[in-house]
Structure 1
Amino acid sequence: MRGHDRFNTSLPDDLIIEIFRRLDSKSKRDACSLVCHRWLRLHRLTRSSLKIGASGSPDRFLQILSTRFPNVTDIYVDERFAISPPPCIQGRKRSRDNSKVSSEESCGSVGNVDSPYLSDAGLAVIGNGFPKLEKLNLIWCSNVTSDGLASLARKCTYLKSLDLQGCYVRDQGLAAVGQCCKQLEDLNLRFCEGLTDTGLIELAVGVGKSLKSLGVAACAKITDSSMEAVGSHCGSLENLSLDSEFIHNQGILAVAGGCPHLKVIKLQCINVNDDALKAVGANCLSLMSLALYGFQRFTDKGFFAIGKGSKNLKNLTLSDCYFLSDKGLEAIATGCKELTHLEINGCHNIGTPGLQSVGKSCRHLTELALLYCQRIGDPGLLQIGQGCKYLRTLHLVDCSSIGDEGMCGIASGCKNLKKLHIRRCYEIGNKGIIAVGKHCKLLTDLNIRYCDRVGDEALIAIAEGCSLHYLNVSGCHQIGDAGVIAIARGCPQLCYLDVSVLQNLGDMVMTELAEHCPLLKEIVLSHCRQITDVGLTHLVKSCTMLESCHMVYCSGITSAGVATMVSSCPNIKKVLIEKWKVSQRTKRRAGSVISYFCVEL
């Protein structure tokens, strides 16, 4: 019967809610909520997360949201970013006598309506309005205090994850969390400068049985005493991240001895030495991920202990550890044969022999990153190619001793390679990249920025052998129209392209991209002086999914081209351009998507 609502008369609320939950995207759920008032109400019951930024009045915003979405379990507040509030807040105006806010009746009155920052009043709203809250992120919320945090902790007793990064809360608030939130598993205290050992010790005592993850950074008053409390009370701890010059061996020894279930350790503690690393190797037998940053006191001795004890290690990051050598890396390689991810960044005493030992022993390696490794040469990559058949990702940055021979070894041996990022490796040229195109048929992501010896021949080989989704050839001056046109014709799935600083590209490239790459979403054309408004017109005519375009210092592109871009691309979100190329009409029409590149003083 026409006009008869079969769904709403036949389906109960629980079934419609379950249908909403099974939809695979937020946009689909939002679309369904517009069908009728009942579906809108039921959709609100399924909403589980909220994200709020520094806009309008977040205290008021939260009060509105608490009445609409009572089942939210995850709230993310990040005051580094601006997120538009609802219209009733965004459009508020003061009356002529400046004594009231005209939208006060519709929005309610919570906190300071003029403040764009979350306050204790907002935390009170969270505590009262979201009793099922399990995860709370308060990123750089500088106006919240210990009083607000304590009030929230008493109401949100089911809290499992708390991120206080950059919040200036004090010990009383953290102690209240320890007393009330007995299910807390994840705690981030990075840049919480107001905390001391007192607060963290009380928290460790209160939630020691449940706490599994702890992050501390730039907290000058948190010392070894806190780590001793963590080691004594937090026996279930699995993830530890420490960045502090006030933590010494004593604190790390206590955690390693008291937390045998540690799986992830990230350390940037300049006053810790080999003794701490030996304790980790001896006690943390479940360790799966180890990251060490800026250590000046670690030597190979600590790594001998890791290689001997942490047999399950899969992920290793070494950054600016100047006293580690090939012997230490060899100890890791021979002892931790399950290693899958390895990053070496600026460790100047690690060279080719160390990487060769990885290639010989770590057969399951899937990701390798070598950054600023001047002493690692082609024989190291040749050994990786021979031994690491499952390698899928390779990053090379400023590795001056690696050239075409090493890349050919990778290409012929690592045929599962999907992602290859190379930057400023000047010895790598056409020969190495052609080998990649010939052998690595699964490659979808190629970044070869500022590789001066790579030209059109290499891109033609890539286009013939691979179906790229992502390509960055910024600064490769030998690449011209022929290479990029080959990519356009051979890679119809291309969605990101950076051809900035290529002086030999012309409008023909834009025409080919428009004809063959309809999925293109982001393009960077900056410093391409031969591309003009004509080419841009061809591009936007067919690439209707385009969302971002950078085109500064393109002398052939004028205000007319900018206007064509913003008017022809319905999905455009960002256009980076010089300010003087944007007309007043374009500003009125699409000011929100224009980002200015301005060097005026």
Structure 2
Amino acid sequence: MSGVKLTAFIHFWKRAQDNEDSSPRGLSRRYSKSGSLKWSTTSFSHPLVEFHLQKGQCPSLLDLCIRKITEDIDKYGTFFILPRDISQQIFNELVYTQLLTVASLEAFRDCALQDIYLGEYAGVNDSWMDVISSQGSSLLSVDLSSSDVTDYGLNYLKDCKNLLALNLNHCDQISDHGLEYISGLSNLTSLSFRRNNEISAQGMSAFSGLVNLVKLDLERCPGIHGGLIHLQGLTKLESLNMKWCNCITDSDMKPLSELTNLKGIEISCSKVTDFGISFLRGLQKLTLLNLEGCFITAACLESLGDLPALSNLNLNRCNLSDEGCEKFSKLRNLKVLNLGFNDITDACLVHLKGLIKLESVNLDSCRIGDEGLVNLEGLQQLKCLELSDTEVGSNGLRHLSGLSNLEKINLSFTVVSDSGLRKLCSLSSLKSLNLDARQITDTGLAALTSLTGLTDLDLFGARITDSGTNYLKNFKNLRSLEICGGGLTDAGIKNIKELSCLVCLNLSQNCNLTDKTLELISGLTELISLNVSNCRITNAGLRHLKTLKKLRSLTLESCKVTANDIKKLQSTDLQNLVSFRPE
């Protein structure tokens, strides 16, 4: 990039700042440097830049300039002279548009970037690491997940002493040797190594010097048994994720007893028993504990009762029975309780009556019936209730009619029928309702018309006909709708086409739907996901989908459509489409 062009760009950038209304100095908030602080406590889920504008909104001068540079990226040799914030936004946009290559990366050498987000970006390997490390002390967060970076590549990061967050999930070429290179990054607050088969207990000794670590993620690392002893000095650690590490046993719990700042521990699907849980008694700040699939019984509740801050407890698939469940009454501060897939009955629910702070309860696939629901009547803070695959029927729903804060309820695979749905009409806060049941018909849908705040409605397997879709007009806020396996024809879709807020629509298994259905829903321009499988859709009908520019997922299995037909549509009109079937 020539000096003249750079000077012109800087002048242009300063004018853009002066013409913007937001602070500081008119710089749009999304260009601030707060991103690094945000990323250090998250899992780097998206780039910082976002150029998507609402209809009618004019892009700023800065937006337009950055877009133009990314389009002509091959013309520029270096961005070293640019202000750091601008270089950062150019980099982010190149990543977002998938235009960054190892060649164009060279232009960012020594640009003092703060955030390098390359998680799941194709082609990243050791050859990228020299430029990444050239950011030096400015570099604060790096995500190289699913890359081909090896132990050798990590060697480049050892001099980036101010690094706060490092994400190396699914990097299967990194082993104990690579950990040695990051052992000196003592400013790290967040470190993630999900799904790594090479890290061992011995290699974890490299973590002992990371004294500022707040968050450590070792999910699906099967070789770390015995390595938690190296965490004993990490007194600032607040979050530890070891889900799906089936090597973890009771002995691994003992070192955690000294980490008194721990607020969240996830050890699902491990070999930890009631004895191992006893080592957690002294963790007075612990708020979240995930024990899903562990070999524990209700006896562990004795230890959990000594955790005054515990608010989120997952005991899903732990083979609990009613025996010992009276100790649930000690967990007075619980807000989220997951008891799904356990051998508990209505007798267990008696001991939940006093847990008045509960906001979410999961009883999926438990032996719960109508009478047990009477114990939930006093849980006025309840927002989410999972009753899927239980013995709950229409009579039991009367006990839920007073839960005025209930926002989500799952009644799939229960024996609830049309008559029971009338008892839900008073739940004015309800937003999500799942009714996967053959007993539900048009009559049941009619009973729900007062629930105008619904945003998600799942009627998979319900016997809804064209007449029943008339009642959908009441649900103007619906964002997700599933009516699968019903008796719908094109005539019934005329009512669905009015639901302009829909983002997800699933009409699969309605075998009488034709290309006319695609024409009718062509105005639902907010759709991101569409499923019309097992219908009479043909290649000729695909032209009606051209208007659905936001569509990212399209499923047309068992239709008269081929993968090539969809690919043609993708290349010409649906450029945001990333998932489709048939493929």
* Length-normalised TM-score, structure 2: 0.76
Once the two structures are superposed, the pairs formed by residues 39-58 of structure 1 within 5 Å of their partners are 40-41=86-87, 43=89, 48=115, 50-53=117-120, 55-58=122-125
**Structure 1 pair 171–483 and aligned structure 2 pair: CA distance change class (3 A):** same
How do residues 97-108 of structure 1 correspond to structure 2 at under 5 angstroms?
none
How far did 1:19 drift?
Answer: 3.8
TM-superposed deviation, 1:54 = 6.0
Q: In 1, are the aligned partners of 2:525 and 2:549 still within 8 Å (CA)?
A: yes
Question: Residue 232 of structure 2: SS of its match in structure 1?
Answer: helix
Counterpart AA for 1:434: R
Q: 1:289 aligns with which of 284, 308, 312?
A: 312
Is residue 50–residue 72 contact of structure 1 (8 Å, CA) maintained in 2? no
Match of 1:345 in 2: 340
The answer as to 2:417 corresponding to 1:417 is no
The SS at the match of 1:342 is strand
Q: Does 1:513 align with 2:496?
A: yes
Partner residue of 1:118 out of 149, 170, 176: 149
Distance of aligned partners of 1:395 and 1:262 in 2 relative to their CA distance in 1, 3 Å threshold = closer
Question: For 1:72-91, what per-residue CA distance to the aligned partner results, in whole angstroms no more than 9, with x for missing partners?
Answer: 53434442xxxxxxxxxxxx
Q: Secondary structure at the match of 2:221?
A: coil
Q: Quote the residue 1:526 is aligned against.
A: 508
From 4, 9, 15, the counterpart of 1:7:
15
Contact 2:250 2:273 in 1 (8 A): yes
Displacement of 1:17: 5.2
Q: Which amino acid aligns with 1:143?
A: Q
**1:444 aligned residue:** 431
**What is the one-letter code of the residue matched to 1:509?**
G
Contact conserved, 1:467 with 1:490, CA < 8 A, in 2?
Answer: no
CA contact (8 A) 1:150 1:174 kept: no
Change (3 A) 1:434 1:186: same
Q: Which residue of 2 aligns with 1:192?
A: 221
- The CA deviation at 1:490 is 1.1
Cα deviations by residue, 1:497-546 (Å, 9 ceiling, x for unpaired): 111111x11112322222x2122221112111121101211211x11122
Structure-1 residue corresponding to 2:140: 73
Please list every run of 5 or more consecutive structure 1 residues that lacks an aligned counterpart in the other structure: 80-115, 294-318
Partner of 1:235: 260
Unaligned runs of 5+ residues in structure 2 are 1-8, 36-47, 54-58, 67-81, 91-111, 572-576
- Whether 1:354 and 2:348 are equivalent positions in the alignment is yes
- Of 124, 132, 149, 2:179 maps to 149
Q: CA distance change for structure 1 residues 471 and 185 in 2, over 3 Å: closer, same or farther?
A: same
Assess, with a 3 A threshold, how the Cα gap between structure 1 residues 543 and 135 changes in structure 2: closer, same or farther: same
Aligned to 2:100: none
CA distance in 2, matches of 1:431, 1:238: 45
Aligned to 1:389: 380
1:549 partner SS: strand
Residue aligning to 1:203? 231
Q: How many pairs are equivalent?
A: 507
Does the 8 Å CA contact 2:490/2:513 hold for their aligned counterparts?
yes
Q: Which residue of 2 aligns with 1:264?
A: 288
The Cα shift of 1:574 comes to 1.4
* Maintained 8 Å contact 1:442/1:466: no
Matches within 5 A, 1:426-575: 426=415, 428-436=416-424, 438-449=425-436, 451-477=437-463, 479-487=464-472, 489-502=473-486, 504-514=487-497, 516-540=498-522, 542-554=523-535, 556-565=536-545, 567-575=546-554
1:339, distance to aligned residue in structure 2 (A): 3.5
Q: What secondary structure sits across from 1:214 in the alignment?
A: strand
Alpha-carbon distance in structure 2 between the residues aligned to 1:146 and 1:498: 48
More helix by share: 1
Shift, 1:230, TM fit: 3.2
Whether 1:370 aligns to 2:363 is yes
User: For residues 532 and 414 of structure 1, do their structure 2 counterparts lie closer, same or farther at Cα, with a shift above 3 Å needed?
Assistant: same
Question: 1:69 and 1:574 mapped to 2: Cα distance?
Answer: 40
Deviates further, 520-529 or 584-593: 584-593
1:210 deviates by 2.0
Return the alpha-carbon distance in structure 1 between the equivalents of residues 395 and 340 of structure 2: 22
1:21–1:46 CA contact under 8 A, matched in 2 = no
Once residues 549 and 70 of structure 1 are traced to their aligned partners in structure 2, the CA distance between those partners, rounded to angstroms, is 46
1:164-203 alignment to 2 at 5 Å? 164-167=193-196, 168-179=198-209, 181-197=210-226, 199-203=227-231
How does the TM-score come out when normalised to structure 1? 0.74
Distance 1:365 1:225 in 2: 32
Q: Displacement of 1:587 after TM fit?
A: 2.0
Counterpart-to-counterpart distance in 2, 1:481 and 1:47: 56
TM-aligned CA deviation for residue 277 of structure 1: 4.9
Post-superposition shift, 1:404?
Answer: 1.0
Give, as a single letter, the amino acid of the residue that structure 2 aligns with 1:439.
S
Report the structure, 1 or 2, having the larger strand content: 1
Task: Give per-residue Cα distances to partners, 1:422-463, cap 9 Å, x unaligned.
Answer: 11002x111221221x311222211111x1221112212323
Partner of 1:321: 319
Contact 2:314–2:337 under 8 Å retained in 1: no
Of 384, 396, 406, which aligns to 2:396? 406
Q: Which moved more, 1:542-551 or 1:220-229?
A: 220-229
CA distance in 2, matches of 1:11, 1:66: 35
| Cα pair 2:453 2:475 within 8 Å, conserved | yes
1:27 maps to a residue whose letter is: E
In the aligned structure 2, how far is the partner of 1:358 from the partner of 1:170? 41
1:581 aligns with one of 561, 571, 582: 561
Distance 1:267 1:538, change over 3 A: closer
What is the match of residue 299 of structure 1? none
Secondary structure of 2:281 counterpart: helix
Indicate if the aligned counterparts of 2:359 and 2:382 stay in contact, CA closer than 8 A: yes
CA-based RMSD: 3.5
Contact 1:20 1:46 in 2 (8 A): no
Q: Please give the alpha-carbon distance, in whole angstroms, between the structure 2 residues aligned to 1:134 and 1:462.
A: 50
Q: Secondary structure at the match of 2:494?
A: helix
CA distance in 1, matches of 2:517, 2:130: 50
For the 8 Å contact 2:189–2:213, the answer to whether it is kept is: yes
Cα distance in 1, alignment partners of residues 50 and 202 from structure 2: 42
Q: Structure 1 residues 68, 576: closer, same or farther in 2, change over 3 A?
A: farther
1:404-434 deviation digits (Å, cap 9, x = unpaired):
11113312x11222212111002x1112212
Aligned-partner SS, 1:190: coil
Distance of 1:277 and 1:75 partners within structure 2: 40
Q: Contact 2:428–2:451 (CA<8 Å) still a contact in 1?
A: yes
Asked if the contact 2:312–2:334 (Cα under 8 Å) also holds between the matched residues in 1, the reply is: no
Aligned-partner residue type, residue 421 of structure 1: N
Question: What is the alpha-carbon distance in structure 2 between the residues aligned to residue 356 and residue 272 of structure 1?
Answer: 21
Q: Residue 211 of structure 1 aligns to which amino acid in structure 2?
A: L
